[in-house]
Structure 1
Amino acid sequence: MRATINGVQIGYDDYGQGPTVLFIHDCPLNRRMWQPQVEPLVNAGYRVVLVDLRGFGESELESEEVAIHTYSADIVGLLNYLGIGRAVVCGLALGGTVLFDLMENYPKRIAGACLATSRPVSDDIQETAKRTELISALQSGKEDQVKEEMFCMLIAGQEKSLPATIKDEVRGWIKGLKGKTLDVALKAIGQRKDYTPLLKGVKIPTLLVGADQDPITHHNHTDLMAEQLPNCYKAVKLSGGHFVNMERAAEFNALFLEFLENLSPKRKMLVDVDEEEEIDFCAVM
């Protein structure tokens, strides 16, 4: 499905009924990376919304320049379009950065947050240099080379252990991405702020999921965020790599559903009263 949000066609999926859970994908992927979460959550009585950020998947880019806040404003616009007041939001890596912006600027719209293989800090010197190198290569017409390099970076250390089905899916998504989208997204990521000072003031219930073999986001960020977030429900490091929701889907889903049930202990009783009514999460603060 697609909807015009903030003047741009945004691709999304909307499954099930009940309290809403919205997922935000990583760069350079798209909303399909969250398919392993759809059926278990819908079967458990949740409404699941998947969204493509601008330029990714089925979403248009339009602009030559995008900021992290642009992505988060599109998320809020989609919630408004779908008539959703509040949602639990889960983001992975870039999706986590967008979620940080949502928590800072739209906290009343976020009933709970799940940060998967995400970190609050901005780029260090080495990361800035590498990102600049990738952007320069894109602008020099080396799009295929950049895509392959990004794929290799994402699966580094797991070339043999990562299931072939996941590797093939990820490589296909990256190959299908427009070079302009990569250029714009890499610049947006490079300009992200350091959200560390925000953490101590975040009252939103939060679940942290790291991965001990993640080559992109070091798993120690999970512990560091847990120490700062005053309402951290749980911080877990699963055995796996960057795509922890795909690689360790069963464990991830069980953990996430536990978090959701903790957020909405009265959900089933509310559904019995009026199944057609849009239900808000009853967050445990």
Structure 2
Amino acid sequence: MIISHDVAGSGPAVVLLHSSVCDRRMWDAQWQPLIDAGYRVVRCDFRGFGDSPLAESPYSDTGDVLALLDHLDIETATLVGASHGGRIALTAAALRPEAVTRLALLGSGMPGHQPSDTLRAFGGREDELIEAGDLDAAVELNVDAWLGPEADEQTRAQVRLMQRHAFDVQLEATIGPDREDVDLGRITAPTLAVAGAHDFQDFRDIAAALPALLPDARHRELPWAGHLPSLECPAEITALLLAFLGEPAPGA
């Protein structure tokens, strides 16, 4: 199965990978500016999100993304990943380093990361609400946890809509994605690791650690941001991505 996706524009490929709180609609604000800047832009829904149906057999989100690149005849691409999408971007870059030209990571997860007690407590509370059938409260828990102080009510409503859809779909799931152990040392792509000062410490620590783990990575923390800065302050993140994409290629 090829996961649901949009593709438009021409030029170097940029693939947008969403957070597990959202779906591909989280990139609405970045979509047209990237196309207008001369990129072929792809955004997709992981299985159980947006328009991608649940899996009927074992799968991996990374495998789905790599299969999508093959389907679209994309040999090389920049991967832009938010949270779970960042973890998938890192995994893809480790499995197929020759295919990933740049990595832009926003509040990224990381393969093999063990969640802190604080993050585990959040997950436990979410599970309690879902098991009690209070999906509205579980949605609000996520909206409050993942959005920083710059998020306006329209943004909160957008995340609320995407998270509720994910819950409604995934409660029917019987198969989840496989977790892949990878060697991040295989990654060669220049990497921008962005974190928000209002995010969980886990994601701040991951972003800060990546420059020591990857050969060409730099860290930036945004003092105003929570976990989803591309939604909280879209114009600033769009400008940041365009500047990163426009940098000279390594060795140029």
TM-score w.r.t. structure 2 length? Answer: 0.85
Unaligned 5+ runs, structure 1: 265-282
Contact conserved, 2:23 with 2:162, CA < 8 A, in 1? yes
Instruction: Please report how far the alpha carbon of residue 208 of structure 1 lies from its aligned counterpart in structure 2 after TM superposition.
Output: 1.3
| 3-state SS of paired residue (2:33) | helix
Structure with max Cα Rg: 1
Q: What is the aligned partner in structure 1 of residue 8 from structure 2?
A: 15
Matching of residue 219 in structure 1 with residue 209 in structure 2: no
Q: What is the aligned partner in structure 2 of residue 105 from structure 1?
A: 95
Instruction: State which of 15, 22, 29 in structure 2 corresponds to 1:29.
Output: 22
Counterparts of 1:134 and 1:212, CA distance in 2? 23
1:220–1:126 Cα change, 3 Å: closer
1:142–1:31 Cα change, 3 Å: same
1:184–1:122 Cα change, 3 Å: farther
Counterparts of 1:171 and 1:11, CA distance in 2? 21
Instruction: Please report how far the alpha carbon of residue 284 of structure 1 lies from its aligned counterpart in structure 2 after TM superposition.
Output: 4.4
Unaligned 5+ runs, structure 2: none
Q: 1:94 is matched by which residue type in structure 2?
A: H
TM-score w.r.t. structure 1 length? Answer: 0.76
Instruction: Please report how far the alpha carbon of residue 183 of structure 1 lies from its aligned counterpart in structure 2 after TM superposition.
Output: 8.1
Counterparts of 1:125 and 1:86, CA distance in 2? 38
Matching of residue 87 in structure 1 with residue 69 in structure 2: no
Counterparts of 1:284 and 1:199, CA distance in 2? 22
**In the comparison of the two structures, how many residue pairs are matched?**
249
Q: What is the aligned partner in structure 1 of residue 188 from structure 2?
A: 203
Instruction: Please report how far the alpha carbon of residue 60 of structure 1 lies from its aligned counterpart in structure 2 after TM superposition.
Output: 0.6
Counterparts of 2:125 and 2:141, CA distance in 1? 11
For residues 113-153 of structure 1, give each alpha carbon's deviation from its aligned partner in whole angstroms, at most 9, with x where no partner exists: 11111143232345345435534543453433322322222
Instruction: Please report how far the alpha carbon of residue 65 of structure 1 lies from its aligned counterpart in structure 2 after TM superposition.
Output: 6.3
1:139–1:108 Cα change, 3 Å: farther
1:93–1:137 Cα change, 3 Å: same
Instruction: Please report how far the alpha carbon of residue 110 of structure 1 lies from its aligned counterpart in structure 2 after TM superposition.
Output: 1.2
Contact conserved, 2:193 with 2:219, CA < 8 A, in 1? yes
Contact conserved, 1:138 with 1:183, CA < 8 A, in 2? no
Q: 1:235 is matched by which residue type in structure 2?
A: H
Contact conserved, 2:27 with 2:230, CA < 8 A, in 1? yes
Contact conserved, 2:49 with 2:169, CA < 8 A, in 1? no
Matching of residue 164 in structure 1 with residue 153 in structure 2: yes
Contact conserved, 2:18 with 2:82, CA < 8 A, in 1? yes
Contact conserved, 1:217 with 1:242, CA < 8 A, in 2? no
Residues 211-220 or 111-120, more deviating: 211-220
Matching of residue 237 in structure 1 with residue 218 in structure 2: no
In angstroms, what is the RMSD of aligned CA positions? 2.9
| 3-state SS of paired residue (1:250) | helix
Q: What is the aligned partner in structure 2 of residue 46 from structure 1?
A: 39
Counterparts of 1:129 and 1:240, CA distance in 2? 22
Q: What is the aligned partner in structure 2 of residue 131 from structure 1?
A: 123
1:218–1:249 Cα change, 3 Å: same
Contact conserved, 2:18 with 2:24, CA < 8 A, in 1? yes
